[in-house]
Structure 1
């Protein structure tokens, strides 16, 4: 493993535009369960996953009922407001701070990358602390709305202050299209990267899982040579990306243990330059 950590650090230091893709495995060490791991939410409760596939359609059919259920049902992820970043988040924020990582594209909705200090974060599946208008695309911090008061007064759903459209949670539900601005920004980052660091994702949820495949198809010129984008996985278990040869190599283990070691090695290398 140490050799692979050193290799990852060398590849990162040599990169011109490295980005990170992160999934639920990055936040498990903060106490937030993942979905498809051995103890994941969907693994333990397939019925909950089945119901989750109906959520977006419930919103479209009856926004008021959607909001009433959302405000009265505990989150499957726990109280995200109380969760704190772990060494994985801080390591990626540090890699951005020292100019290595240019962007984090995350499946996570927990806001922990921002809490750890990452600035350029694309939230592919939305943010649990924001609301989004499906009409104009505007996003708002949930604190801007007294949702409980709206519920008591029978005034749900909340209304967009910009266009008067109906607001839903910014979280992207199953069967809901990824917002167009998020798709555009993500593809722009993938089109610029020469290295992709994939951390804590099972790589089975599309279209997010397509991003590494898009990167792998790109041929770029480096040092007068035509090469493919370097793709590094840091995951607890092999994924389809490993098995299909999309990733160049896998560093297997907990992201909270491996990423800080990569940061330390990157700093050592940069000090020698």
Structure 2
């Protein structure tokens, strides 16, 4: 049994669309591309971090589920089944974590499909000049398949001491305007150190799994416009189709891997490589790798 990506969907950068709306738009596009019935989705995981109005409850996944109309109230929509929907937040590595969790659940629980969604945006629902993360959305629909294709291995590593990018809400500073404000603070040399740390994680992953770099294409996080390119040059793994385009959009945070997968799987050369190497990298320092055989 394998876990494959059945379809992808994105909501391209638009500063006037909120995080949740970006996630919903990407999910709808993904479901339309897959041509599956809503009631055939068993699991929904949201990995977006920054939320409309700094929402804490309910889970954003539940709001997305409701907007999409997936297996709603069994009293009014008696479909004889339910969907498990929850949020999973681990910054830029969140989508990779969700892929690992969803893959395990699909294999162990007799479920068939999982919708993984992310959306990022300023809590005011409009782009702020001080907010470094681009408003965008991405979604992946994964399902059980047969054969060797699909996700095979995941690994995650974190540094001993924290360094990274942190979202802070100062209630005393913003007062009654707190719901529509956030400060994103970044440690000095964060991206530089993250690049070195991630390079080491990738090299260990390649060595442990005895992978030939020439067989792989890289889909990476984008804490800055050079990160993926630098990682590619340091590790010797070529960039997947469309990764450079996503990098130019800016720091897409949790949506980066979904955006990258969307374009990589549409490679006009027919994915000449044997596998995609997904690499998430963010605060912690935390980096993760996931191998997807094509």
Specify if TM > 0.5.
no
Q: Normalising to structure 1: TM-score of the pair?
A: 0.27
Question: Whose strand fraction is larger, Structure 1's or Structure 2's?
Answer: 2
Q: Normalising to structure 2: TM-score of the pair?
A: 0.25
Question: Whose helix fraction is larger, Structure 1's or Structure 2's?
Answer: 1
Rg (Cα) greater in structure: 1
